[in-house]
Structure 1
Amino acid sequence: MAKLLIIVISLFTCVSFLHDPIHRYLIDDDEEQRTWCMVHFTPSIEIFNSFINIFHFIVPFGLKLISAMSIIGSIATRRASVKKQNSYMEHIKMQFRKHKHLIISSSCLVILAMPRLIIYFASECMKSAREPLIFLIGYFV
């Protein structure tokens, strides 16, 4: 099931961004001796692109958070049914302490993805430097 899910998610991600390379084109700039990669979306494609970027930001975080909460809840429920001397809420607190790395990792996912989302919505055209390697490294970090 996991192998199938990995294939489906990979295909969905590729298909959801397929519109981007279709709407890109190159412009040769003789004055500055460089080639610019330009993108031009129609208003409907721009709305779809914004939706896809937000979707790819929120869904992984939501799924990871929901799965962490369900793991913690199911373990606490099982332990509460076996160990009756502690209440259900005490078991929940113990499981949160024990599995806090699951919540922290989903929060880190949001923190690491936030700059990409901010750059997407706040970026405008700018004159790039002659050595774009540092911008490329910053983007991939």
Structure 2
Amino acid sequence: MYRDLYDDYEENRIWCVTHYSKFIQTYNSTIIFIHFLIPLLINFFSAVFIIIMTARQHNTSNSKLTFYQQLIKQLKEHKPILISSILVVILSLPRLIISLLTTCMKSSSKPLLYLIGYFISFLPSMLMLFIFVLTSDLYFKQFKESIKSCFKRRQ
């Protein structure tokens, strides 16, 4: 790791830029991918697992429908779980892209675009309530009961 100083005569500034070895850059990128992909894969595959196991359980207890019909029924019933997993992936992509960019940019060169991208990267954590709770009937019902009980306590 080493640092360089660059004189920027247009903006009358001096930039300090840190350079990392190839190993540290590769390690950083690997850790970023692991912290991005592993939770998202666990989330998605657990949703698929829940759907398949529920369909299998309903198939053994209810012999009127085939496993494929039960699977389609469970997919329709648990659609919010799959949609929320996919939404989290889509909303987390800007954070992944920004964290993997290693190039420098001039501070006056399209700062609004980078600022918007930076704030978009926080959307998944800010929208967890809307993504998971409000899209699921069961979770939404429990959420409403919790809110009602909180208001009853205040009165």
TM-score by length of 1: 0.67
Q: How many matched pairs? A: 119
Amino acid at match of 1:44: F
Matched, 1:138 2:117: yes
Structure 2, unaligned stretches of length 5 or more?
121-155
Per-residue CA distance 1:60-80 (angstroms, 9 max, x = gap): 211011110111111111111
Q: Residue in 1 aligned with 2:29? A: 50
Contact persistence 1:73–1:92 (CA under 8 A)? yes
Tell me the C-alpha RMSD between the 2 structures.
3.0
What is the CA-CA distance between 1:138 and the residue it aligns to? 3.4
Matched, 1:90 2:69: yes
What is the CA-CA distance between 1:48 and the residue it aligns to? 0.3
Q: 1:64 aligns with which of 20, 43, 47?
A: 43
Q: Distance in 2 between matches of 1:123 and 1:40?
A: 10
Amino acid at match of 2:56: T
Per-residue CA distance 1:6-65 (angstroms, 9 max, x = gap): xxxxxxxxxxxxxxxxx798x797964667564432211111001011112211211011
Q: Residue in 1 aligned with 2:129? A: none
Structure 1, unaligned stretches of length 5 or more?
1-22
SS in 2 for 1:86: coil
Q: Structure 1 residues 93 and 137 mapped into 2: Cα distance closer, same or farther (>3 Å)?
A: same
Contact persistence 2:6–2:15 (CA under 8 A)? yes
What is the CA-CA distance between 1:137 and the residue it aligns to? 4.9
Contact persistence 1:64–1:106 (CA under 8 A)? yes
Q: Distance in 2 between matches of 1:83 and 1:63?
A: 29
Contact persistence 1:76–1:88 (CA under 8 A)? yes
What is the CA-CA distance between 1:97 and the residue it aligns to? 0.6
Per-residue CA distance 1:57-115 (angstroms, 9 max, x = gap): 21121101111011111111111111111011111110001101111111111111222
What is the CA-CA distance between 1:121 and the residue it aligns to? 3.7
Contact persistence 1:24–1:37 (CA under 8 A)? no
TM-score by length of 2: 0.62
1:1-141 to 2 correspondence within 5 Å?
A: 32=11, 36=15, 38-122=17-101, 124-129=103-108, 135-141=114-120
What is the CA-CA distance between 1:120 and the residue it aligns to? 3.6
Q: Distance in 1 between matches of 2:39 and 2:50?
A: 16
